[in-house]
Chain A
């Protein structure tokens, strides 16, 4: 079942059952013709580049018709440059990235025969993330009957992600794709490009690849042919410009060692939708191979003190791409949102190796997860969390908790600074990990987010000052859940109600609005187009904690639903409770059209069948 392959975790830490996927294709079929075709393609590209230079020169001649001498001088200059640096100039346009790994040369070389420079057709003119190379490898296994053992597959992905990978700066804007987050890509490209690409996959899937101009042309042409799409020169031009093979970022990153050294103690903060903030620490130990690590993390809930222990195994690709798998201690309960559930971990490690952030996720549609930030522990003080996250102006004797590491032994009120209008009355308690203080907030204190500092440790935007909660926002404001059937478990959705205050512009629902953190609400649902509430039972239920569970019966119909949060303690100017709404689509698990079956995958439908691309 290809849908299962598609959504299976990255091969970094495979489960035993994945083995069959990798070994199910058993015979190789040399495809010399393919290699020859690509050799011709690259020759053609080189010719095109040369022609482009000559055409540019011809245009130059035309524009300087009135001054032949100047043109001749320019002609001579251009030719001097071309003649002096022919290999450099042209290679900058066409230079491939040689492959030196013997396993890649052996396993891929049958079809992608390396030239005298070590360049393998297609492979040397592309770069991608671990997920991108994994997809490519799976495609080769399915379509070209490549035979690989799981360790070989892992080694190939590891090598290509390192030598033909993306720089950290190139990957960061696309992390939502690897982290399996639903993300609005509006504005990332023109409507024409978005319409073309996102009918089948996210734009991030395309931008996870960097290719030469010729490769992008070829990829788009293949899509046009395979999926019967209209020719789209705009998409080609966009991808050539937005995702080139060679970039300054990659050149800089590639010049580095690209070896991750993560061993040691890390401070962790995390957020789980519906559960609030967590804090704790992770101990990282070296694994059995370079770039592999074992992890042990302890996280504690800021809200209720509940503790989560997890152990994991991580592979770091290209020196910064953390891909792992972890499991909570003890056995996870039957509850799908159990924080002890086995999870995939995807994180981005900062280029200096001092911080990491990402998501640890699980669920049929990866709908559950920790949003994680980590920083290396040092010998100095570090401030991780301030709780509560918002204080009302004009309030007295607020108790706030500062959670962190290596706090001073005897903190005093003067050690704690939260800006004008916030005065620290006293320190109630103080330990190296937690300080409880009592603070007053002046009535005329300026609302908004502000930093909190404890001596040399500063937490940016740690606390918000507000005069009133102006509105309640349900997050996620746009979401999906799924009915289940015999083959596919249900997809759930957890919600949170966040209070907001208007920002400095005085308007609601604008970018400067201030997030005040979760507010207490009552949850309910409303089904679109309903004339009474009879359909709600067919759709599902939302718990008092904001957890939506689809009905156990699959009605074979999609429902649009409002998930409604009604504030318990916050009212509008008319004295009515504040109400927030999130748009939920409760969808069927599979979809059949023209005899083909499609399954839901995160936020789109993919065909469920053998893929012989």
Chain B
């Protein structure tokens, strides 16, 4: 393990996958979307925290969404209970290019006061 250059270091997985292991290539970074929904599950895990939430579309149909964030170590002050089922969240982010109901969360605010003010880490 030698001569690692700094550029590469940014891509390396680290202890406990603590630093993000992938970039945002899977997401459409040209357009931000805004969603409001109700949390059904929150995963405070490496390499990315994920919030699952339900959004009602214009027709009243419920869509299941998943929002990815940075790693637990980079979500300062957050815990596994920072988001709980029933919390209403408003999120802004980049949607998955595949068209799946996934997004990379840039901003989040929750009815319980939890906030992610800006994108941190990857």
Q: B-contacting residues of A (Cβ < 8 Å)? A: 6, 182-186, 191, 194, 198-204, 226-229, 477-478, 480, 507-510, 528-531, 558, 560, 581-583, 585, 593-594, 596, 603-607, 609, 611-613
List CB contacts (< 8 Å) of B34-73 with chain A. Answer: 41, 43-48, 50, 66, 68, 72-73
Residues of A within 8 A of B99 (CB): 531
Chain B interface residue number, banded: 35 or more
Residues of B within 8 A of A480 (CB): 17
Whether the pair B13, A185 counts as a contact (CB closer than 8 A) is no
Q: B96 interface residue, CB < 8 Å from A?
A: yes
Whether the pair A613, B15 counts as a contact (CB closer than 8 A) is no
Contact of A529 among B1, B5, B98 (CB under 8 A): B98
User: Complex Cα distance A583/B16, Å?
Assistant: 12
> How near does chain B come to A341, taking the closest CB pair, in angstroms?
25
Whether the pair A603, B13 counts as a contact (CB closer than 8 A) is yes
Q: Is the interface of A mostly helix, strand, loop or mixed?
A: loop
User: Nearest residue in B to A585 (C-beta to C-beta)?
Assistant: B21
User: Complex Cα distance A205/B65, Å?
Assistant: 39
Whether the pair A509, B81 counts as a contact (CB closer than 8 A) is yes
- Given A528-B102, A612-B2, does the pair A605, B13 have CB atoms closer than 8 Å? yes
User: Complex Cα distance A590/B72, Å?
Assistant: 26
> How near does chain A come to B70, taking the closest CB pair, in angstroms?
12
Whether the pair A199, B12 counts as a contact (CB closer than 8 A) is yes
Whether the pair A604, B13 counts as a contact (CB closer than 8 A) is yes
Residues of B within 8 A of A596 (CB): 3, 8
Q: B6 interface residue, CB < 8 Å from A?
A: yes
15 CB contacts below 8 A, A to B, read A183-B16, A185-B18, A198-B19, A200-B1, A228-B6, A480-B17, A508-B84, A528-B26, A529-B102, A530-B98, A530-B100, A531-B99, A581-B43, A585-B17, A607-B3
Residues of A within 8 A of B6 (CB): 228-229
Residues of B within 8 A of A510 (CB): 80-81
Contact of A531 among B15, B17, B98 (CB under 8 A): B98
Residues of A within 8 A of B13 (CB): 603-605
Given known contacts A603-B15, A609-B2, what 9 new A-B pairs fall within 8 Å (CB)?
Answer: A183-B15, A183-B16, A184-B72, A184-B73, A194-B18, A194-B73, A200-B12, A560-B48, A607-B1
> How near does chain B come to A304, taking the closest CB pair, in angstroms?
31
Whether the pair B9, A184 counts as a contact (CB closer than 8 A) is no
User: Nearest residue in A to B9 (C-beta to C-beta)?
Assistant: A199
User: Nearest residue in A to B71 (C-beta to C-beta)?
Assistant: A186
Q: A-contacting residues of B (Cβ < 8 Å)? A: 1-9, 11-19, 21-22, 26, 41, 43-48, 50, 66, 68, 72-73, 80-81, 84, 96-100, 102
Contact of A227 among B4, B16, B26, B72 (CB under 8 A): B4
Whether the pair A583, B2 counts as a contact (CB closer than 8 A) is no
List of 5 A-B pairs having minimum Cβ-Cβ separation, nearest first: A184-B16, A509-B80, A186-B73, A478-B46, A202-B15
Residues of A within 8 A of B102 (CB): 528-529
> How near does chain B come to A595, taking the closest CB pair, in angstroms?
11
User: Complex Cα distance A368/B96, Å?
Assistant: 34
Whether the pair A226, B3 counts as a contact (CB closer than 8 A) is yes
Contact of A583 among B5, B9, B12, B45 (CB under 8 A): B45
Residues of A within 8 A of B11 (CB): 593
Whether the pair B9, A200 counts as a contact (CB closer than 8 A) is yes
Whether the pair A478, B16 counts as a contact (CB closer than 8 A) is yes
Whether the pair A604, B15 counts as a contact (CB closer than 8 A) is yes
Whether the pair B50, A583 counts as a contact (CB closer than 8 A) is yes
- Given A226-B3, A531-B99, A613-B2, does the pair A585, B47 have CB atoms closer than 8 Å? yes
Contact of A594 among B8, B22, B97 (CB under 8 A): B8
> How near does chain B come to A432, taking the closest CB pair, in angstroms?
43
Q: Which of B6, B15, B99 has the most CB of A within 10 A?
A: B15
User: Complex Cα distance A6/B1, Å?
Assistant: 9
Whether the pair B45, A478 counts as a contact (CB closer than 8 A) is yes
User: Nearest residue in A to B46 (C-beta to C-beta)?
Assistant: A478
User: Complex Cα distance A182/B12, Å?
Assistant: 15
Residues of B within 8 A of A508 (CB): 81, 84
